[in-house]
Amino acid sequence: MPILGIIASKFTPPAPTNFTVDYLVVAGGAGSGTGDIVNNSSGGGGGAGGLRCTVTATGGGGSLESALSLSTGTNYTVTIGGGGAGATSTANAGSNGSNSVFSTITSTGGGGGGSNGGGGVPTSPNTGGSGGGGTSAAAVPFTTTAGGAGTANQGYAGGSGEANSGGGGGGAGAVGTNAINGGPGVAGGNGVATSITGSSVTYAGGGGSNGYPSGGTGGTGGGGAGAYNAFGTAGTTNTGGGGGAGSRGPAQTGAAAGGSGVVILRYVDTRTISFGAGVTGTESAASGGYKRATITAGTGNVSWS
């Protein structure tokens, strides 16, 4: 009598499914420069982190970016850039912010603001996603520096320095304000508003500068305010805002740090995201046919099912 064999079937996993992801990738904002009240101060605001976006508007006045076609079951890299530290002395510019990354998209950290050199040669600002604000020497002749350059399609340049007054840090949506000769601090460049979360939110404003007798306002989108005879205000966390410049005594710094960046992803509500080790993120409930993932810290991978 024949023996009936049982043929085991081999399980075949489902093929990956392609779907479209819109993104906002904002890099860390830069730290500001610092002034010196003994020499009537002059510090440039920190530049905002570079901003790349597929919804509403993107940075630097560029055309909207294109959404990514991704696949389920595939890991994609995410990094949230930290904010740069403020200048440690009048001989140093503020530190640049760190880059933020999602998959093939990289946004460049903001450029540090310039410092007044303590009466000597001014420290030039740095280039970045948005450039740092310029400054000037705090003694005659008042040698000045231009604002740092921004990155195309990510952010704008910082404002130029003048005698005893720093320039505003560049923002993703506007150039930092040029300094006023011998005047107060000036405003950082404004950021860019996007509705990727379902409501309009502004990101990546430049830091305000330092001058006499007051500091300039931070750009909309998390830019920190500048100050005179006080510390500047740090850029807001998870906005990529630049730090505001301040001034203290000759052995003290009034500089402030930039704000960390953020990555926000929008995708069809039939998909669910998973956050890998090292990534801090949340997924929203479905709304209007989409879910949104907001990633606020870390480096690692995300994937979808």
Q: What's the pLDDT score for residue 182? A: 82
Q: What's the pLDDT score for residue 14? A: 64
CB 275 within 8 A of CB 281: yes
Residue in the structure block whose two tokens are 């005698």: 163
CB 43 within 8 A of CB 255: yes
More confidently predicted of 103 and 8: 103
What CA dihedral angle connects 214, 219, 220 and 221, to 10 degrees? -120
Integer CA distances (angstroms), 51 to 152, 198, 289, in order: 10, 18, 25
pLDDT at 207 over 60: yes
Domain extents for the chain? 26-275+294-305
Q: What's the mean pLDDT when you consider all of the chain? A: 92
What is the Rg, in whole angstroms, of the alpha carbon atoms belonging to the chain? 23
pLDDT at 143 over 70: yes
Three-state DSSP class for 302?
A: strand
State the pTM of this model. 0.93
CB 107 within 8 A of CB 60: no
Dist. CA 41–CA 16, nearest whole Å = 59
pLDDT band at 13 (very low <50, low <70, confident <90, very high): low
pLDDT at 8 over 60: no
Q: Of the given ranges (74-83, 116-125, 177-186, 279-288), which has the lowest mean pLDDT?
A: 116-125
pLDDT band at 179 (very low <50, low <70, confident <90, very high): very high
Q: What is the pLDDT of residues 262-276, one digit of tens each?
A: 999 999 999 999 999
Q: What is the pLDDT of residues 40-76, one digit of tens each?
A: 678 999 999 999 999 999 999 999 999 999 999 999 9
Instruction: Return the structure tokens found at 190.
Output: 């404004």
pLDDT at 105 over 90: yes
